[in-house]
Chains A and B, each alone.
Chain A
Amino acid sequence: DTEVTQTPKHLVMGMTNKKSLKCEQHMGHRAMYWYKQKAKKPPELMFVYSYEKLSINESVPSRFSPECPNSSLLNLHLHALQPEDSALYLCASSLSTSGRSSYNEQFFGPGTRLTVL
């Protein structure tokens, strides 16, 4: 299995809702990532998990809360979002995050298209 899956594909939510995005991979990768991508822009890194521990938080607002329950799953919990948070949310994974493995490519999921009303 060489793919990263994300659910749901589309999500529409109000500013008072609580929802979660899910990401799963079964490639044995121990690094997992959340990105936010606006239209026609490059992905912006949000969070990095290394061996199920949060290793990088790119100063993301607390209304986004990541969780890594195990080495195959990554969640992004959403609460009290703003309309400007509407974007494509991409999950990715790679083999490792150690310095000697920083040459490993990332495998991306298809993304969740989020619309905040």
Chain B
Amino acid sequence: AQSVAQPEDQVNVAEGNPLTVKCTYSVSGNPYLFWYVQYPNRGLQFLLKYITGDNLVKGSYGFEAEFNKSQTSFHLKKPSALVSDSALYFCAVRDSEDDKIIFGKGTRLHILP
């Protein structure tokens, strides 16, 4: 069965510093991996995805993610954090056998001014 793990409930980063939000996955076939962000009382917004190709994926709002097959990881990164990046971030894996997306538990990112 497919699964994703986000080991950190919360990440605190000072504004201007680089940020990383961690995600590891477990899949039986080729992984289709996604990052979504959710602001308070809002729906989820798609940030980026990895399907195949370059291991470094660039997405919205300056975010990028690095796919590492050997470590089964797909960490979300940004070189310089903004206070407005404070939100709830979900890593997700798409099940290739049906059409379900499986979400991690989420990581709350706090960017400190």
B residues apposed to A, CB below 8 Å: 32, 34, 36, 41-46, 49, 51, 88, 90, 94-101, 103-106, 108
Contacts and interface: CB of A to CB of B under 8 A. Distances in A.
Interface in A86-113: 88, 90, 92, 97, 99, 102-103, 105-111, 113
A8 interface: no
A41 B106 contact: yes
Contacts, number: 62
Given A103-B94, A108-B44, A108-B45, A42 B32 contact: no
A25 interface: no
A114 to B, nearest CB: 13
Interface in A12-34: 31
Contacts of B42: 110-111
B100 A110 contact: no
A103 B32 contact: yes
B103 A102 contact: no
Contacts of B51: 103
Contacts of A108: 36, 43-46
Contacts of B96: 99, 102
Contacts of B41: 88, 111, 113
Given A42-B105, A106-B46, A110-B42, 7 more contacts: A45-B100, A56-B99, A99-B96, A102-B94, A103-B32, A105-B46, A108-B45
